[in-house]
Amino acid sequence: MSRESRVNSRESGDNGGKRHSDRMPVLSTLDSRLSTRFAYYLLPLLLACAFLWQVSLGGRVFVPAGMLRHLTPWSANAAPQDMAAWNPLMYDSVGQFYPWHKFAAETLRAGTIPLWNPYQFCGTPFIANSQSAVLYPGNALYWLLPAAQAVGWTAILHLSLTACFMALFLRALRVGRSGAMVGAIAWTFSTWQVAWLHLPTFLATSCWLPLVLLFTLRLFQRSRWRDAAWLGLAVGMTLLAGHLQIAFYVLMACGLLAVYLAVKRVGECGLRATAAPIALWLCGLALGIMLAGPQLLPTLELSRRSHRVGAPSAEGYSAYTNYSVSANALVTLFLPDFYGNPSNPDSPYFGASKGGQYFNYAEGALYVGLPTLLLAGIALVRR
């Protein structure tokens, strides 16, 4: 080979190596994006499908129809060994939410907005009842699938969404990828979430908490109108989802985070630089309330007729506090079934409230998993 050929060959090899090295960052970035999308979007869906595998793979429905055996006429042919332990919160799934969603879906398919429910008592307001959640987009599966199947797939959808939202929020707090996914899984599949899973409005509302916190955080970091719009959407979904008590908790957490971030920003940047994110945050809240207005206004009017409306009294306050969580419930942070489990006939539940009353299992659920507690302890020690 001549000297000129060797030089040309060497230059060609150098250029080829350079082109190869130029491609490497692109491939690395693409691989990073794909792994991130899998971790944040696909993995939560796979975990939710695995958790409710009897729905996703087994062809079963996520409706506790066995609870009907406690009531007439189904109780007439029910054998004692087939009677599940009575659980009023779980019964609401089949006795209240399932017929509501079925009625709403059938009425909407017929081209009518279900303002009124003629099948309860002599007729009752329907949209005005916030827990019917007719206007909540997350219930779209009830329009597309048979109601019995939609119950389980809607639960899978919201488990996936809240895991994704929590992972994104933790990443915004500069938690590592693996730490963000561990936190998201702990949040999504904690006993507090799972024990209420049969009440669809509970998870559908708490699902949006991480997203509300995420855009509150971003507003105080970069003050963009786009983030205020996303905050408004998340707040609107929270209020439309149906459980106004949980929505109140979500907004309270959002407000506490905003106060903390505002105080911190005033100390770092001054009051003038803090005015813009506060204004945008308030605009985001106002937008969310306006989005939920068609639901909130009739609900507010109906609430004046509620059986719970009445003047506060010392007796009522005492009854309320007596049913609060007992300090003894702290043991369920480590052993969720320490007081038994209402879904397990071999381990009857006997939990009690602060006042010694029978306490529903879901009310005091604290368990987040022993690995989560171990990792939290390691994190505290390392700090």
Rounded CA separation 30/24 (Å): 10
pTM: 0.86
Q: So what's the pLDDT on residue 13?
A: 47
pLDDT band at residue 313 using 50, 70 and 90 as cut-offs:
confident
Summarize the confidence of residues 254-262 as an average pLDDT.
Answer: 97
Q: So what's the pLDDT on residue 88?
A: 81
Rounded CA separation 185/179 (Å): 10
**12 pLDDT above the threshold of 60:** no
Across 328-355, b (16+ Cβ under 10 Å) vs e yields: ebeebeeebeebebbeeeeeebebebbe
66-70, 160-164, 299-303: least confidently modelled range: 66-70
* 33, 27 contact by CB (below 8 A): no
Report in angstroms the alpha-carbon separations of 240 from 42, 134, 167: 26, 8, 23
Report in angstroms the alpha-carbon separations of 96 from 90, 103, 121, 129, 246: 10, 11, 13, 12, 18
pLDDT band at residue 263 using 50, 70 and 90 as cut-offs:
very high
Largest CA distance in the chain: 104
19-33, 101-115, 149-163, 290-304: least confidently modelled range: 19-33
Rounded CA separation 176/301 (Å): 47
3-class secondary structure per residue, 67-93: HHHHCCCHHHHCCHHHCCCCCHHHHHH
The pairing of beta strand 116-117 with beta strand 124-125: antiparallel
25-29, 292-296, 326-330, 373-377: least confidently modelled range: 25-29
Which residue type sits at 10?
R
